Structure 1
Amino acid sequence: MKKTTILFFLVSLTILQFSCDSDSIDLDPQGAISSDVVFTDPAFAETYLNAVYNGVPHGFSAPDGWYMLTSATDDAENSYPWPSSNTKFNTANITSENSPFNGLWNNAYFQIRRLNNFIQNYDQLEGADAVNNRLKGEAHFLRGYFYSLLLKTFSGVPIITVPQELADDLLVSRNTKEETLNFIVSEFDTAAGFFENAETKSSTRGSWDAAIAIKARVLLYEGKYAESAVASKLVLDNTSRSLDSDYQSVFVNNDATEVIFDTQFSDPDKGHWGNLFNTPKSSGAVSGWGGTGPTQNLVDQYEMQATGLLPSEAGSGYDINNPYDGRDPRFEASIIHDGTEWKGDVFFHRPGGNAGIATSGDFTRTGYSMKKMIQEDTNHNDRSTQHWIHIRLAEVYLNYAEALIESGASLGLAVDAINAVRTRSSMPDIGLGSQSELRIRVRRERRVELAFEEHRFWDIRRWGIAGTPEVLTIYRVDMDTDGNLIDDGKEIWETRDWNVEAGGLFPIPQSERDKNTNLTQNDGY
């Protein structure tokens, strides 16, 4: 009877957590349930970890609000005046007190504290080895994942691996970037070792594929190209995942075969508002809140399908009178443009159209709207249930290709990896080129294939191009009221600012430094 009562309480707690935003609650099952139950019974242990999974950030809610982080890159502009993309990121107005990533620091260490507690006690588990190994692997995977988020955002951070009590010395100093990286790699390796002898579960939980694939990503971001290539190749050679034939469906289908790790939402217990916040504002039958407006900068990166050339390149086949015809199929799958039929309505983004370009209100600022990831067959006023993908197989191919290119080795294999992704979308193969030529190709491929998935935000930082005029100058479509392009079809919408001194890092939260004077601040803040 006692065990049944505890189980009811724990399940109720989990439902509560899944129905609330993680920022609004501070519930820890360990504080409510005896440790001799949580850390001995696999069912309770799994529910304990469920609370940590619920704390994994997802892209339908940006660091401090309901907007897409891509609007803080040259790929998009948000139509609302209030998001941090417009008021902080794109105006270089981030401080240690207002940074949108302050919440990440607090949440990550809260979840790490939970995981440290679990890892310290998981040898007490009394389940079958396959179950116990999965739970142990998930704990190390999650700890590595949260530290990887901290690393790319702040660089080196304090590595804490044991539960801290008030009696402990809590004034921990920052570890170096290299120490933090090495710890993350060791966590993913430890997780992978457990997963090799564990039962398998869904993509919503850690796995061998996820541990090695995200390790490869972290190594790539930190310039460890040879090691990154080895890890990505290990996944490509051993995974049971495969690229889905329908690119557009990947982002709205929870069962997409290429998804390695994702967060799924089961309405009404768990959902988000991605549809409402990104469906175009319109005077027509279908009207959302506008939200993410792809830029002309991004649109110009979609090649012509027949030739594999950019519209700006000679011989591409581009027709300025039909600017959206014959483009890479990922363009139509990702972006609503003037004349797009969607959700049973036609959206005219031309000036004066039902969803026309504007400078105020929630109408598109750029002349485009986001289609990728948005559920066409769901009423946009209802809570959204499409998953957020943290990593998928297509990214692994591109991570592998970039790592090979940057290491200067096996360029032919890099070309093969890029072409594997292009073939899925019926795009012509690219040919072998020099390192610098292939660097341009893989970066373009990442931008198109991974559009709106938050990769561009980190890519432009790690490549050192975030502060360049090319990235800071934002273009929108230049179109007349009849839907015809004016001149070259683009005009400057805005010129953004960039904190050169800070580079690509964000400040350690001032509130944390007030509590812990041993935390040094990043440059520029």
Structure 2
Amino acid sequence: MPLTRFFTVAIAGLSTCAALVLSGCDNSILEATPRDQLSNRAVFADPNLAEASLNDIYRGVGHGLNGTTLWSLTDDGHNTRFGGTTQHMQSLITPSSLGTMGGGRFDHYLWGPLYKSIRNTNIFLTQIDSATFDETRRLRMKGEAFFLRAYFYHNLLRIYGGVPIIKQVYELDDDFVIARNSFEQTVEAVVADADSAAALLPVAQSATALGRATKGAALTLKARTLMYAASDLANLNPGRLPETGYTTPGDRAAKWRRAQAAAKSVIDLGVYSLFRGNPAQGENTADNYAALWLNPTNSEVIFGRYFLASRGTVDIPNVGRYDGPNGYHNWGSNTPTQNLVDAYRMADGSKFSWNNPVHAASPYANRDPRFYATIHFDGSKWVPRPSDAVALDPVGIIQTFTKVTLPNGNTVPGLDSRAGPIENWNGTYSGYYKRKAINPAVDHQFVSQEVPWYFFRYAEVLFDYAEASIELGDEAAARSAINQVRRRAGMPAIDGAFTGAALRDEYRNERRIELVFEEQRYFDARRWMIAPQAFGEAAHGIDITAQATNALDRSTYRNYTYKLIDVEPRAWNDRMYFNPIPRDEMNRNSLLKQNPGY
């Protein structure tokens, strides 16, 4: 009996018997069917109810469009509200205090909510075989359920390592005490479910089923999981346990071959390609890259979550208001760091350096086109100001400078700085705002845009294939895959001069830039075991000053100075490679083994 129904019936029975204790208890009353619930038999007898049940499970996949994001827990970002992020970024979380990742916006990475979703998926999978409606529809839904269970377990794997693999539906009288499976067993459980899903799912869903899993989504999930399994963290981390990695590295090449083959299987489907918003523009990549999130039904999306205004604004994350400039009455919550900005290459492919006087004099000139589609910086062109601010900036230019000094000695702060005259409580500390995935045609102060969240897109598949190829020594194949993404970005190709460690480093930087803000860096830095360097360094920003004849006329600004500053101290402890299992979960299950260092 489902737990919800059990408690409904039990409580009703107690209250009824108490009321009738003098005259006897009529047991027939206890057998009444609850009017606010449906039995499994009723749900799976009706394809629409079964579909609704499956739709509810999809909600557990979460998304990354929140006021606090996973990328602001990396060297790419800084959260201006400090909502538990400092605790995380200084390696101070404990099993009793997880900081910002303790729940809510991060439920899709948290032990309890993920196991709740897994239980719901297990219920679905135990019932769907008995359904008697259309076989094609039934098998498609079964495939989606396999995919969802694999996705939930892959999130548990990424956050905690090996976890208890549960495929049965526990009831109240069952033994809930179960030990963790090994890292390897958890990997294989995800792969098995992904394979089952791929065997049942169509290559493409119908136009009315946007956001449902497909064969490509299942194969991409398999490729990502196998790549994690082949990475350094799972094989070389000296503190690993059977639950947090392979106890011996074994045949690393065999693991990379599995990951490479899995990525190749997605490529070979032949249904995905890198998006170009307007092919007639050619490689006008700043526009094309920006348009990727404004054209949600494009050739690059493999699996995404979509938000519709028709469902009401409560269901739509207002990413523009969360992260947009405060000088537009937005909140500036998750802001890019100087650490990230410095990682963008010059337009000719060379590295940016503050030690280069040309670069230092104009740090935002001649950069990778994706920089201009991803980050708001001082001087970048945006949209007209709100009506109460347009007189202060008739053109719509981002102003994050600390101050400009006028001929009379007066100073004026930038409209989008923390001292700005429009709103001075919610500006950036780093000198930057997020531009990527924010629609310039929407007034984000009042309206939530229908921005999608992409869990998987084709660029990631090409990168997965490239990474496995690098580790296998197939550098020509790796360069070919990387250059497909760079070509769409308008960047010069990586040639044969990049080999060995240089090729690996350039690939990793390319992956960081292309997939920035997409919940990749948090895991990539860990699995590559570069987190001590990447996350142990302070979050940096920029302090900009200038002189001007007229504060309203940007063309009169001169004598810019750029000073690097620290906006948040950070510290890394190796225990942070995995999160701790929450204390409540440890107390419920005596067989659970806590992750190292906690």
- Which TM-score band (shorter chain)? 0.7 to 0.9
Equivalence map 1:21-100=2 (5 Å): 32-61=37-66, 66-81=67-82, 83-86=83-86, 88-99=87-98, 100=101
1:508–1:212 Cα change, 3 Å: same
C-alpha distance in 2, partners of 1:419/1:58?
29
Is the 2:90–2:572 contact (alpha carbons within 8 Å) kept by the matching residues of 1?
Answer: yes
1:301–1:368 Cα change, 3 Å: same
In the alignment, what sits opposite 2:168? 162
1:259 has 2:301 as partner: yes
Q: 1:487 Cα shift?
A: 6.9
C-alpha distance in 2, partners of 1:274/1:197?
31
C-alpha distance in 2, partners of 1:485/1:144?
56
Is the 2:546–2:559 contact (alpha carbons within 8 Å) kept by the matching residues of 1?
Answer: no
In the alignment, what sits opposite 1:406? 471
1:454–1:485 Cα change, 3 Å: farther
Is the 2:535–2:572 contact (alpha carbons within 8 Å) kept by the matching residues of 1?
Answer: no
Q: 1:393 Cα shift?
A: 0.5
C-alpha distance in 2, partners of 1:425/1:336?
18
Which deviates more from structure 2 when the two are superposed, residues 183-192 or residues 345-354? 345-354
C-alpha distance in 1, partners of 2:567/2:511?
24
1:151–1:101 Cα change, 3 Å: farther
In the alignment, what sits opposite 2:19? none
Letter in 1 for 2:121: L
SS in structure 1 at match of 2:332: coil
In the alignment, what sits opposite 1:468? 533
C-alpha distance in 1, partners of 2:154/2:504?
25
Q: Out of 352, 356, 360, which is 2:417 matched to?
A: 356
SS in structure 2 at match of 1:480: strand
The structure with the larger Rg is 2
C-alpha distance in 2, partners of 1:385/1:340?
24
C-alpha distance in 1, partners of 2:531/2:419?
26
Q: 1:110 Cα shift?
A: 0.7
Give the TM-score taking structure 1 as reference length. Answer: 0.87
In the alignment, what sits opposite 2:190? 184
Q: 1:470 Cα shift?
A: 7.2
In the alignment, what sits opposite 1:234? 265
SS in structure 2 at match of 1:458: helix
C-alpha distance in 1, partners of 2:183/2:299?
34
SS in structure 2 at match of 1:289: coil
In the alignment, what sits opposite 2:572? 498
Which deviates more from structure 2 when the two are superposed, residues 118-127 or residues 461-470? 461-470
In the alignment, what sits opposite 2:398? 347
Is the 1:243–1:257 contact (alpha carbons within 8 Å) kept by the matching residues of 2?
Answer: yes
1:198–1:426 Cα change, 3 Å: closer
In the alignment, what sits opposite 2:316? 271
In the alignment, what sits opposite 1:111? 117
**Which 5+ residue runs of structure 1 have no aligned equivalent?**
1-28
C-alpha distance in 1, partners of 2:85/2:333?
11
Is the 1:101–1:506 contact (alpha carbons within 8 Å) kept by the matching residues of 2?
Answer: no
Letter in 2 for 1:172: I
Equivalence map 1:123-134=2 (5 Å): 123-134=129-140
In the alignment, what sits opposite 1:369? 433
SS in structure 2 at match of 1:124: coil
C-alpha distance in 1, partners of 2:117/2:36?
14
C-alpha distance in 1, partners of 2:39/2:468?
47
C-alpha distance in 1, partners of 2:357/2:124?
59
Letter in 2 for 1:84: G
In the alignment, what sits opposite 2:504? 439
Equivalence map 1:410-429=2 (5 Å): 410-429=474-493
Output one character per residue of 1:213-235: Cα deviation in whole Å (capped at 9) or x when no partner.
Answer: 11101111121322111111110
In the alignment, what sits opposite 1:515? 588
Is the 2:545–2:562 contact (alpha carbons within 8 Å) kept by the matching residues of 1?
Answer: no
Q: 1:323 Cα shift?
A: 2.1
1:303 has 2:342 as partner: no
Letter in 2 for 1:350: F
In the alignment, what sits opposite 1:13? none
Letter in 2 for 1:277: Y
Q: 1:183 Cα shift?
A: 0.4
C-alpha distance in 1, partners of 2:55/2:351?
45
Q: 1:197 Cα shift?
A: 8.7
Output one character per residue of 1:279-300: Cα deviation in whole Å (capped at 9) or x when no partner.
Answer: 1112xxx221111221111111
In the alignment, what sits opposite 1:449? 514
Is the 2:429–2:541 contact (alpha carbons within 8 Å) kept by the matching residues of 1?
Answer: yes
C-alpha distance in 2, partners of 1:342/1:385?
19
C-alpha distance in 2, partners of 1:273/1:310?
34
Letter in 2 for 1:73: T
1:281 has 2:326 as partner: yes
Is the 2:536–2:572 contact (alpha carbons within 8 Å) kept by the matching residues of 1?
Answer: no
Which deviates more from structure 2 when the two are superposed, residues 104-113 or residues 357-366? 357-366
Q: Out of 154, 159, 167, which is 1:148 matched to?
A: 154
Q: Out of 372, 377, 399, which is 1:337 matched to?
A: 377
Is the 2:205–2:212 contact (alpha carbons within 8 Å) kept by the matching residues of 1?
Answer: no
SS in structure 2 at match of 1:383: coil
Q: 1:486 Cα shift?
A: 7.0
Q: 1:312 Cα shift?
A: 2.2
Is the 2:542–2:562 contact (alpha carbons within 8 Å) kept by the matching residues of 1?
Answer: no
C-alpha distance in 1, partners of 2:91/2:512?
23
Letter in 1 for 2:443: N
In the alignment, what sits opposite 2:227? 220
Letter in 2 for 1:182: E
Q: 1:485 Cα shift?
A: 8.4
Is the 2:542–2:565 contact (alpha carbons within 8 Å) kept by the matching residues of 1?
Answer: yes
Q: 1:39 Cα shift?
A: 1.8
Is the 1:132–1:198 contact (alpha carbons within 8 Å) kept by the matching residues of 2?
Answer: no
C-alpha distance in 2, partners of 1:386/1:197?
24
SS in structure 2 at match of 1:520: coil
Q: Over aligned residue pairs, what C-alpha RMSD do you find?
A: 2.4
Q: 1:128 Cα shift?
A: 2.9
SS in structure 2 at match of 1:468: helix
1:312 has 2:353 as partner: yes
User: How many residues align structurally?
Assistant: 484
Output one character per residue of 1:374-394: Cα deviation in whole Å (capped at 9) or x when no partner.
Answer: 222112122342111111001
Is the 1:506–1:522 contact (alpha carbons within 8 Å) kept by the matching residues of 2?
Answer: yes
Output one character per residue of 1:371-417: Cα deviation in whole Å (capped at 9) or x when no partner.
Answer: 00122211212234211111100111111111111233x21010000
Is the 2:544–2:562 contact (alpha carbons within 8 Å) kept by the matching residues of 1?
Answer: no
Identity, % of aligned positions:
36
C-alpha distance in 1, partners of 2:205/2:437?
30
C-alpha distance in 2, partners of 1:58/1:469?
24
Q: Out of 200, 204, 213, which is 2:211 matched to?
A: 204
Is the 1:405–1:439 contact (alpha carbons within 8 Å) kept by the matching residues of 2?
Answer: yes
SS in structure 2 at match of 1:32: coil
SS in structure 1 at match of 2:172: coil
Q: 1:340 Cα shift?
A: 1.5
Q: 1:499 Cα shift?
A: 2.1
Output one character per residue of 1:455-504: Cα deviation in whole Å (capped at 9) or x when no partner.
Answer: 1111111111112267523221232144778777523333301222x141
